[in-house]
Amino acid sequence: MKRVEIAITGIVQGIGFRPFIYNLAKKNLIRGWVLNNEKGVFIDAESEDGNLDRFIHDIPKLAPPLARIESLDVRSLQPQGYTTFEIKKSEEAEDKFVLISPDVATCDQCLSELFSPQNFRYQYPFINCTLCGPRFTIIQDIPYDRHKTTMAPFRMCPVCQQEYGNPADRRFHAQPNACPACGPSLRLEDGKGEEVLGDPIEKTLNLLRKGFILAIKGLGGVHLACDAKNQNAVFTLRSRKFREDKPFAVMCRDIAEVKKYCEVDEEEEKVLSSVERPIVILRKKEESTVAHAVAPYQNTLGVMLPYSPLHHLLLNSPLKALVMTSGNVSDEPIAYKNEEASHRLRGIADYFLFHNREIHMRCDDSVTRIFERKPYILRRSRGYVPFPIKLPFPVEMILACGGELKNTFCLTRDKYAFVSHHIGDLENLETLTSFEEGIQHFKKLFYIEPKAVAYDLHPDYLSTQYALSIPDIPKIGVQHHHAHIVSGMVENGIEGDVIGVALDGTGFGLDGTIWGGEFAKANLRNFDRLAHLRKVPMPGGSMAIKEPWRMAMVYLLEAFGDEANHLSVDLIKRIDLQKRNILKRMIEKRINTPWTSSMGRLFDATASILSVRDQVHYEGQAAIELEMMADHEVKEEYPFLIKKDERPMVIDPIGVVRGVIRDLLEKISPSRISGKFHRSIAQLIIETCEAIRSEEDLNRVVLSGGVFQNITLLSFVTKGLRRLGFEVYHHHLVPTNDGGISLGQAVIAHMMLFG
């Protein structure tokens, strides 16, 4: 007979850990008790040696999928002679801070009940248990308890109550527990708000099959859905949503269905089926029968698997692939309340499938790619948030307000950084409100009262203005690219000096110009700009971002002077002389023409020179399409120049531009030229890193910034650097785009004020 106490820390509360321990204890004939305390889970266990050993061994091995065990300490005690095993009441502490679970995809056991005709929850769209279901999106306040969630209005029936109260039941303390007798229900409405009678799921499926567009309320918001194979329906959705060609995501019934449209490797399959259920960007198959309008001009498709019981019910039908895109008009935040959705989406959806479980926090679907067999997250939201990013050291409570596009904010405490869900582009009042409400909510959930606030140096960002308007708190402005690099450092757990390579479209520079092709000696406090892409004018400011032909002309003028107008390339033929002259005058007279060292703009320019696109409809579109056409087999490069005697060093890509034009004139295929362009930029990055290494004796390189969403470039650069012995770090937990900068801002602010 032996007795031990087991202290477990990490993410072990609110995710079904105690019932798991209870059942494991019963299985191994353990006597004693378990409780939650402020540190995690505490177990007092007594049994015969073999049983106890097996019990301890199995805890980390069989723990619920959401558990993250950080430590498990075992200490021997004098046997006590317990006769039962019980779950004791939690030790409540003042200012108790616990981690909160993200929303979790429906588990296998619930699924099997959902489709068992003899089960009383057969086809019930809100089935869940301690291992699955809504969490973050329904929590209104803490502690996480039913009456503080949007499940409060639903009074449990005796059966549900019995499950909820029984420690041996897999629905023990499952806060959203519900059944057809007592829980939420569906309601199908037409465009006038009139209820469509009959079985809502069946009716919905009929409507989808007929090509109608439906607004479907899910876990974190309302999706706009239509049959993914119906070209007309998809096209109608596009035009009503004012979304010209930004790709839509598709939800497929299962992996077998995904494989009909896309190449799926082992790692991608794993992430698609994970409890987080993100949208995974996959290579589209030639023979894909998904409507072309789902992802025009793309050789990839964003796919996800059903993650709520409602999705499973909808897709367990002849419709095995549905477009599921955020329920919003253009760039507004996703609609998440019934009334709001019927109002805002009236012109888009023909019918509305609602339910009466309220969403408290909206949360968009997450988006990821797989790079080097690991997730490479592009949007970290539903399924991941609000789990924190673990920091290498404890930090003060800081609020970091993030950037403008793809905004997230971040709140820190102890060794945790709570990076928010995807807020969106902070360009309108709706999004700003959602940003402010999100901050208040996170502060409350995690007992965080910030001691300082960090913001981007760009004076026009709404996030910056918000930060500056908070009274009585120290404020730290953080340079955009510094924040990118530090985000990359902390999520990889590294400190000290690194070579930071931050390449993106726009970031406010310390000299007031627009940066975006930056190489620095960076650490958690400092960002010493050692090299950058040559500065060029950006005629029209933000217009030059929307119209890549402007940047194409800028680079042609830089490369060829007035001769540019006589080049026999399509771009010159497409853009009439008058427009070109106005542009030239703007540049000469510096009218609304800031300077930029942005790498994003060089990609835009090249895309337009290759006639890929002169105007974009969403951020990064030209660069994305340029990447898609790149021939990866090309080995040649264009020449470029690194001016190593200048401080900071200047990287001059004009040779690349001249080379592109020369190849165009020689009728080399655009796909070869794009491949060669990608090789050249990769080589330019690698050689700049080498130049810095030879002076600074730094061997670690952190790659960050939106340009590294380009997997072709990322992979060329990573391989090239490693070949030369560099240690290469890139993102995998937070996005490389501006969705990741709030994390870096928070840590930099901590270091500057408290570090």
- The answer to whether residue 104 forms part of the interface with Zn ion (CB under 5 A) is no
- The answer to whether residue 314 forms part of the interface with Zn ion (CB under 5 A) is no
> Based on CB atoms, which residue is closest to Zn ion, 131 or 323?
131
> Based on CB atoms, which residue is closest to Zn ion, 115 or 618?
115
Closest C-alpha to 431, from 463, 398, 399: 463
Question: Rounded CA gap, 662 and 563, in Å?
Answer: 14
For residues 226, 228, 233, 235, the Cα torsion angle rounded to the nearest 10 degrees is 120
Q: Which stretch binds Zn ion (CB under 5 A): 39-47, 152-160, 404-412, 607-615?
A: 152-160
- The answer to whether residue 157 forms part of the interface with Zn ion (CB under 5 A) is yes
> Based on CB atoms, which residue is closest to Zn ion, 160 or 741?
160
Q: Which stretch binds Zn ion (CB under 5 A): 151-159, 371-379, 396-404, 657-665?
A: 151-159
Q: Which residue's structure tokens are 């060029």?
A: 536
Give the DSSP H/E element, type plus range, for residue 498. Answer: strand 498-508
Query: CB of 178: closest distance to Zn ion in angstroms?
Result: 6
- The answer to whether residue 43 forms part of the interface with Zn ion (CB under 5 A) is no
Q: Which residues of 300-309 are buried (b: 16+ CB within 10 A; e: fewer)?
A: bbbbbbbbbb
- The answer to whether residue 110 forms part of the interface with Zn ion (CB under 5 A) is yes
Closest C-alpha to 688, from 599, 566, 605: 599
- The answer to whether residue 160 forms part of the interface with Zn ion (CB under 5 A) is yes
Q: Which stretch binds Zn ion (CB under 5 A): 160-168, 329-337, 558-566, 723-731?
A: 160-168
- The answer to whether residue 105 forms part of the interface with Zn ion (CB under 5 A) is no
> Based on CB atoms, which residue is closest to Zn ion, 162 or 206?
162
Q: Tokens in use for 55?
A: 């019990």
Size of the site for Zn ion (CB under 5 A): 10
Q: Which residues pair with 417 in a beta bridge?
A: 389, 412
Q: Which stretch binds Zn ion (CB under 5 A): 74-82, 105-113, 681-689, 705-713?
A: 105-113
- Cα angle: 406, vertex 409, 415; to 5 degrees: 130
Query: CB of 113: closest distance to Zn ion in angstroms?
Result: 8
- The answer to whether residue 129 forms part of the interface with Zn ion (CB under 5 A) is yes
Q: Which stretch binds Zn ion (CB under 5 A): 92-100, 122-130, 345-353, 615-623?
A: 122-130
> Based on CB atoms, which residue is closest to Zn ion, 111 or 196?
111
> Based on CB atoms, which residue is closest to Zn ion, 112 or 669?
112
Query: CB of 22: closest distance to Zn ion in angstroms?
Result: 17
DSSP SS3 for 165:
helix
Query: CB of 502: closest distance to Zn ion in angstroms?
Result: 42
Neighbours of 84 (CB within 10 A): 9
Contact 271/359 with Cβ under 8 angstroms? no
> Based on CB atoms, which residue is closest to Zn ion, 275 or 281?
275
Q: Which residue's structure tokens are 């009139």?
A: 194
Applying CB under 5 A, among 7, 35, 182, 494 the residue interacting with Zn ion is 182
Q: Which residues pair with 74 in a beta bridge?
A: 6
Give a three-class secondary structure readout of 218-250.
CCCCEEEEEECCCHHHHHHHHHHCCCCCCCCEE
Query: CB of 696: closest distance to Zn ion in angstroms?
Result: 53
Query: CB of 147: closest distance to Zn ion in angstroms?
Result: 16
- The answer to whether residue 114 forms part of the interface with Zn ion (CB under 5 A) is no
DSSP SS3 for 342:
helix
Burial bucket for residue 289 (CB in 10 Å: 0-12, 13-18, 19+):
exposed
Query: CB of 148: closest distance to Zn ion in angstroms?
Result: 20
Applying CB under 5 A, among 66, 179, 389, 432 the residue interacting with Zn ion is 179
Closest C-alpha to 410, from 733, 39, 67: 733
Closest C-alpha to 706, from 432, 507, 457: 507
Q: Which stretch binds Zn ion (CB under 5 A): 153-161, 260-268, 278-286, 703-711?
A: 153-161
Closest C-alpha to 703, from 688, 691, 695, 694: 688
The rounded radius of gyration (Å) of the Cα atoms in the chain is 27
> Based on CB atoms, which residue is closest to Zn ion, 172 or 527?
172
Q: Which stretch binds Zn ion (CB under 5 A): 46-54, 157-165, 559-567, 705-713?
A: 157-165
- Cα angle: 714, vertex 304, 421; to 5 degrees: 70
Site for Zn ion in 497-526 (CB under 5 A): none
List residues binding Zn ion (CB under 5 A). Answer: 107, 110, 129, 131-132, 157, 160, 179, 181-182
